[in-house]
Amino acid sequence: MEHRHMISSVAKGSIAREMGIEPGDILLSVNGHEIEDIFDYRYYIEDEYLELLIEKPDGEQWELEIEKEEYEDLGMEFEQGLMDEYRHCHNKCIFCFIDQMPPGMRDTLYFKDDDSRLSFLQGNYVTLTNMSEHDISRIIKYRLEPINISFQTMNPELRCRMLHNRFAGEALKKVDILYEAGIEMNGQIVLCKGFNDGDELEFSIRELTKYLPNLRSVSVVPVGLSKYRDGLEPLISFTKEDARQVLETVHKWQEMLYPEHGVHFIHASDEWYLLAEEELPEESCYDGYLQLENGVGMLRLLENEFTEALESEIGDDIERNVTIATGQLAYPALCRLMERLREKFPNTKADVRPVKNKFFGESITVSGLITGGDLIEQMKEITLGERMLIPCNMLRIDEEVFLDDYTVSEVEKALQVPLNIVKSSGQDLLDTVLGRNI
C-alpha cells in the first residue's frame, strides 16, 4: 500500500487501546480505503461499523472489526499530524520573504509550503498553483473551508511573472470551481511597487468582487523587503504618498461595496496606515477581523480591547516602572495606550521603546520579526526599570526562543532584567503592565 501511517500514541480507555492497537503499529486502511491524509481518516472513521487493517511491527497484519457510535473517535494519534508530507510550493515569487532570509537560520524557516490542507488547518495562504483536480474535489467533498488564497493579481500574465510560474495565471480558474461549489475563501494581495499596484490593483479588486459573498475578504499588504535581496528581482519600498493612494483605492471600494453586500471586503493592513500617517479605521470597518493574521486590524483591536479593559479599572497610585519593547509599527499605538493608562495609574511608568530591525533591515517594522540579538543590542544602554515586556509573537509558538535562537533567559541575562511575555489581547497587555499575571 502506498500510504502507511505510523501510530504515535493510543489514548487510555479508547477504542483503539481496547482493540490492542499500540504505538508503533501502522494503519493501512479503513473499510478498504487507503488513507491519503488526516481528512480521509476523519471522514472514513465517522461510520458506526469499521474494518481497520493494521500492521504490527513484526509485519503481521490484523483485520479489526469495530462497532461504535457514529463520529466517535478511535483515540489514535499519528506520527505526522497531517498524515502526509507538507506540500512544497512550485513558485519563485519575486516578493518571497523566505528567499530574503539570511543564511544559517533554522531549516524549518526555509521551508516553502503551499498546501491547501494547511490553509484549512492553520490559516496559511496558498497560491493554488500546485493543486490538482483531485485536490480541488477533496476540498469540496470534505468542505475544507475557508481556503485562504494568495491572489497577488487577477491579471493571469502578471501573476505568472510575479510568481515565476507559467501555470500561475491558469491556476486562477480553480477559484471559479471553488466559488461554484460554495466554498468560503479569503484572499490576499502582496503589493509590489510597479507590478500589481495602481491600475492593476483596481483591476484585481474589480475581478475579485465577482466572487462575493463566498470570497469574504481580501487584504492588501505591502511587500516586506529585507536587506538580503542580492540576485533577486529589484523591488522598492512604498512611500507615504504611495500608501495614501493605496488607502484611497481601498476606501473607495469599501464605500462602493458595503451598501450592497454589507461587508467592506477589501482591507488595507495596518502598515499602510502607519506609512501614510493616517488614522486607523473604526472596528466596524474590519468585518469581524477576518484578516488579523495578515496584520489587518491588529492595532485597532489591541487599542479597543485595552481601552475597554482600562475602563473597568478603578486605578491606583502604586509605583511601577517597566519598559515595553515593540516594533516600529505598533510603537505609536502603544504610546497612546500608555498615556491613557497614566490617567488611572499616575505612578506607573511604562516606557515604550521601538526596536529597529537591524537583523532583516529597517524597513521591516513588525514586532514578530524582531530578534533576540536586536533586542539586546538596542536595549543594553537603556535603564529598563523592574521588568521588560515583549509581545508573544517575538517568540516561536509555545517556546521561549526568538527567531535567531536566542532564548528568553539568555536575553534576560544579557540585559539584567526579567522579561514578561504579553499574550495577544489588550487585557493581557494591561494586566502585564500592572504586574498581575507575571
- Of 67 and 85, the one with the shorter C-beta distance to ligand SF4 is 85
The contact pattern for ligand SF4, residues 384-403, with x = CB under 6 A and - = no contact, is: --------------------
**Smallest distance from ligand SF4 to CB 141, Å:** 25
Let me know: does 173 contact 132? Beta carbons within 8 Å.
no
**Smallest distance from ligand SF4 to CB 110, Å:** 10
Residue 109 near ligand SF4 by CB under 6 A: no
Ramachandran sector of residue 432 (left: φ over 0; alpha: ψ -120 to 50; beta: rest):
alpha
Query: Rule CB under 6 A: which of 37-96 touch ligand SF4?
Result: 89, 91-93, 96
Residue 423 CB-half CA count within 13 A:
9
- For residue 401, the SS3 value is strand
Sheet of 419-422, strand order: 348-354, 320-326, 387-391, 419-422
- Of 96 and 389, the one with the shorter C-beta distance to ligand SF4 is 96
**Smallest distance from ligand SF4 to CB 378, Å:** 29
- Of 93 and 395, the one with the shorter C-beta distance to ligand SF4 is 93
Three-state helix/strand/coil letters over 44-98: HCCCCEEEEEEECCCCCEEEEEEECCCCCCCCEEECCCCCCCCCECCCCCCCCCH
**Smallest distance from ligand SF4 to CB 157, Å:** 17
**Smallest distance from ligand SF4 to CB 38, Å:** 22
Q: Give me the amino acid identity at 188.
A: Q
**Smallest distance from ligand SF4 to CB 189, Å:** 13
Where b means 16+ CB within 10 Å and e means fewer, 377-410 reads ebbeeeebeebbbbbebbbeeeeebbbbebebeb
> What's phi and psi for 280, nearest 5 deg?
-70, 145
- Of 127 and 328, the one with the shorter C-beta distance to ligand SF4 is 127
Ramachandran sector of residue 354 (left: φ over 0; alpha: ψ -120 to 50; beta: rest):
beta
Query: Rule CB under 6 A: which of 86-105 touch ligand SF4?
Result: 89, 91-93, 96, 98
212 vs 179: CA distance, rounded Å: 9
- Of 151 and 265, the one with the shorter C-beta distance to ligand SF4 is 151
- Of 3 and 193, the one with the shorter C-beta distance to ligand SF4 is 193
**Smallest distance from ligand SF4 to CB 164, Å:** 8
Look-up of cell digits 500617517 = 277
Residues comprising the chain, all counted: 438
Which residues, 6+ apart, have CB-to-CB distance to 55 below 8 Å? 4, 25, 26, 28, 61, 62
- Of 159 and 387, the one with the shorter C-beta distance to ligand SF4 is 159
- Of 92 and 206, the one with the shorter C-beta distance to ligand SF4 is 92
The contact pattern for ligand SF4, residues 340-369, with x = CB under 6 A and - = no contact, is: ------------------------------
- Of 91 and 226, the one with the shorter C-beta distance to ligand SF4 is 91
- Of 89 and 175, the one with the shorter C-beta distance to ligand SF4 is 89
96 vs 235: CA distance, rounded Å: 11
**Smallest distance from ligand SF4 to CB 112, Å:** 4
Of the candidates 268, 270, 277, 205, the residue with the CA atom closest to the CA atom of residue 239: 277
272 vs 249: CA distance, rounded Å: 12
- How remote is the C-alpha of 240 from its chain's centroid? 26
The contact pattern for ligand SF4, residues 110-149, with x = CB under 6 A and - = no contact, is: --x-x------------x----------------------
E strand segments, 258-354:
266-268, 320-326, 348-354
CB atoms within 10 A of CB 63: 10
**Smallest distance from ligand SF4 to CB 185, Å:** 17
Residue 229 CB-half CA count within 13 A:
19
**Smallest distance from ligand SF4 to CB 222, Å:** 14
- Of 114 and 197, the one with the shorter C-beta distance to ligand SF4 is 114
Size of the site for ligand SF4 (CB under 6 A): 9
Which residues, 6+ apart, have CB-to-CB distance to 13 below 8 Å? 75
**Smallest distance from ligand SF4 to CB 139, Å:** 18
Q: Which residues bind ligand SF4 (CB under 6 A)?
A: 89, 91-93, 96, 98, 112, 114, 127
